[in-house]
Amino acid sequence: MTEGLRQELRRTADSAPVYPVYERAMATARRTRRRTAAAWAAVAAVLAVAVPVATRPAVIPVAAGQAPSLPDRIGLPAYGSLDVDDRPRLGAAAVSFIGDSRRLGLLSGESELGGLVGAYEERYRTIDVGIASRRAPLLSPDGRFAADEGGLVDLSTGRSTPLALTPLAWSPDGRQIVGSTLGTAPGSVDLVIKEVAGGEFRTLATAGEAGFSVAFSADGDRLAYLADGRVHVLDSAGRELVAFTAPSGYRLAGKGAWTPDGSALALVASAAWAPRWFDPGTGQPVAGPELPAVSGGVVAAGLLGWRPDGSALLYLRREAGQAGQVLALSPRAGAPAQVTAVDPAITDVDLAARAISSGGTRAGDPPFLIGPAVWWWLAGIVLALGALVAGVRWKRRAGQRRG
Amino acid sequence: MAEADGFREFVRGRSAALSRHAYLLTGDHHLGEDLLQSALASTYRHWRRVRDSDPEAYVRRAMYHQHVSWWRRRRVPEQLTGGHREVAQADPADATALRLTMAQALSRLSPKQRAVIVLRFYDDLTEAQAAQLLGCRVGTVKRHAHDALRRLRDIAPELLHETERSTR
């Protein structure tokens, strides 16, 4: 039987022509080789990006001797910007801000996100600040922590811990944070101080619903707060050194309200920049630094700190549609000098004390419209579409087989 | 291209034999052409490694494996009745009828059974040689050969009868 099978197989095989496939085989081989090379190149590219990101240390060490600086321009984070807990970590920030922009709140256009700009380079991150927050996250003096009502975020690890207070000021050494909480009496607010590393609140004062404005002296030995129209100066143990009545409608000028030598305290009226200076030891008006006047319509202003050259840094929010500014007010200078231009959509800015005291500035480079996270979203969409198409084709093929 | 040295000559010299294998395995000239093209492309990519050993065995092994792989992936309709572009000349009418019957019978076998049938009864390989070429155990070859022959006996007894008579 098998001999017949052999003969028949040979007869059948002999009817086959010689297939002219040499050129096509060569073309197929080259195409496959190109695709293989492209696939390996893609794998290498993905690994080149993924491995350094995955192996980057969770805590970013700050290079010795490296000084933080302020960008000369602050823009909005991109759509799809990395968040504060994304890798690579920011490490420390020089600037925090909030604003009214779709880039900071896709649903409402009001701040659901704040923005952070790196202490040493132009890296932007977003940070959750809750809907319609009015204050930029408060940066610790070294810029490593950002505090707001939601909690305390460590920018070097991306980890967030609850604070249970509305932060108002950091102590200059960064160990304590002062904030307000709801008081036990109806309609009252407590001023509390808390060790950042942990520990209980210590209540410093109680005031009405209007709350407090707070500023530490540069050496951290004294704390001034304004509540219910009076200024109180406390020592580091919380004992009141002096209290005096502020001019009506005035408040502390900002976290930099103390002059660097502690000899004067600046109070300003709302929505204007015309400081009046008081002796924090006596409460008497004094002649403070002769700072140049600020012209133009001002919606809000905050004295954020002092640079080594003696100039005060002032954040100004201008009227709607106008760009904000961070100005350097040098004593006896004829006019303020702009340090940083602020995007018109930004409504509040905070600067890390160390970035101010370094006196350094750098060229600002706000991100383009689309940020890195958008590419991940797009990659996910492409993968999902690819899976969908493959599924449909597989189903169609299965249908054909059954048919 | 240095790495292709000898490949063209190899293809030119062995195309006829390889085409016959491809046709027997697929039962269709188009599929046979595709199968040979794919196997040769694979051989070309590894030509430097295989040219000094036995490139034809490599191509045949590639064809067998590729064919089983295609069948798994695509479940291509297998018919040995594809349009012949070059019809054998001067075949007796009864031989043509017999060949069609043989082709139809082969199309009823699984790709592995067909591969074993081709290796054992067309290439005249031993069971051990066929197992080595297919990368399986001798027992697997025996089982496929046994099943294939039984199936041929079942579905085409007249074919076996004719072939037996014709070989006496």
pLDDT at A266: 95
Q: Total domain count for chain B?
A: 2
Same domain for B105 and B132? yes
Q: Which of B79, B114, B143 is the last residue of a domain?
A: B79
Put simply, the answer to whether B121 touches A33 (Cβ < 8 Å) is no
Residue of A nearest to B31 (CA): A19
Residue B96: give the domain boundaries: 90-168
Residue of A363, A358, A341 whose CA lies nearest to A69: A358
A-B contacts at Cβ under 8 angstroms:
121
Same domain for B75 and B1? yes
Residues A214 and A223 sit within 8 Å (Cβ to Cβ): yes
Positions of chain A with pLDDT under 70? 1, 50-65, 106-111, 131-133, 271-272, 372, 399-403
For chain B, positions 107-166, list CB contacts with chain A under 8 A. 117-118, 121-122, 124, 149, 152-153, 159-160, 162-164, 166
Put simply, the answer to whether A13 touches B21 (Cβ < 8 Å) is yes
User: pLDDT digit string (tens) for A316-341?
Assistant: 988 877 889 999 999 888 899 999 99
For residue B15, list chain A residues with Cβ-Cβ distance below 8 A.
Answer: 18-22
Sign (positive/negative) of CA torsion A132, A136, A138, A142? positive
DSSP string, A4-26: HHHHHHHHHHHT------HHHHH
How confident is the model over B77-93, as a mean pLDDT? 39
pLDDT at A283: 92
Same domain for B102 and B144? yes
Residue A234, token pair as written in the block: 């406390």
pLDDT at B135 over 90: no
Torsion, CA A300, CA A304, CA A307, CA A311, rounded to 10: 30
Q: Which of B79, B111, B128 is the last residue of a domain?
A: B79
Residue of B nearest to A2 (CA): B121
Same domain for B68 and B2? yes
pLDDT at B81: 39
Same domain for B49 and B109? no
Residues A183 and A206 sit within 8 Å (Cβ to Cβ): yes
Residue of A307, A253, A306, A315 whose CA lies nearest to A278: A253
- Quick check: is B84 in a domain? no
Give A10→chain B minimum CA distance, Å. 7
User: pLDDT digit string (tens) for A367-381?
Assistant: 887 776 777 778 888
Residue of B nearest to A397 (CA): B74
Give B11→chain A minimum CA distance, Å. 7
Which regions of A53-155 does DSSP assign to beta strands (E)?
A: 70-71, 73-74, 93-99, 113-118, 124-128, 138-139, 145-148, 151-154
Q: Which of B40, B95, B163 sits opposite A5 (nearest CB)?
A: B163
pLDDT at A100: 82
For residue A35, list chain B residues with Cβ-Cβ distance below 8 A.
Answer: none
Q: Which of B79, B98, B129 is the last residue of a domain?
A: B79
Where residue B161 sits, what CATH number does that domain have?
1.10.10.10
**Residue type present at position B85:** R
- Quick check: is B85 in a domain? no
Sign (positive/negative) of CA torsion B157, B161, B167, B168? positive
Residue of B nearest to A18 (CA): B16
Put simply, the answer to whether A6 touches B41 (Cβ < 8 Å) is no
How confident is the model over B78-104, as a mean pLDDT? 46
Where residue B74 sits, what CATH number does that domain have?
1.10.1740
- Quick check: is B102 in a domain? yes
Q: Is the peptide bond before A88 cis (omega within 30 degrees of 0)?
A: yes
Same domain for B95 and B66? no
Same domain for B94 and B167? yes
Fold of A70-373: Neuraminidase (2.120.10)
**Domain positions in chain A:** 70-373
pLDDT at A62: 47
Residues A206 and A250 sit within 8 Å (Cβ to Cβ): no
Q: Which of A16, A24, A401 sits opposite B20 (nearest CB)?
A: A16
Same domain for B97 and B71? no
Give B76→chain A minimum CA distance, Å. 9
Put simply, the answer to whether A9 touches B160 (Cβ < 8 Å) is no
- Quick check: is B23 in a domain? yes
Put simply, the answer to whether B19 touches A10 (Cβ < 8 Å) is no
- Quick check: is B7 in a domain? yes
- Quick check: is B132 in a domain? yes
Residues A29 and B45 sit within 8 Å (Cβ to Cβ): yes
pLDDT at A399: 67
pLDDT at B163: 47
Q: What angle do CA A300, A304, A306 make, to 5 degrees?
A: 135
For chain B, positions 74-113, list CB contacts with chain A under 8 A. 75, 80, 84-88, 95, 98-99, 102-103, 106
For chain A, positions 13-52, list CB contacts with chain B under 8 A. 13-22, 24-26, 28-29, 32-33
Put simply, the answer to whether A13 touches B41 (Cβ < 8 Å) is no
pLDDT at A116: 95
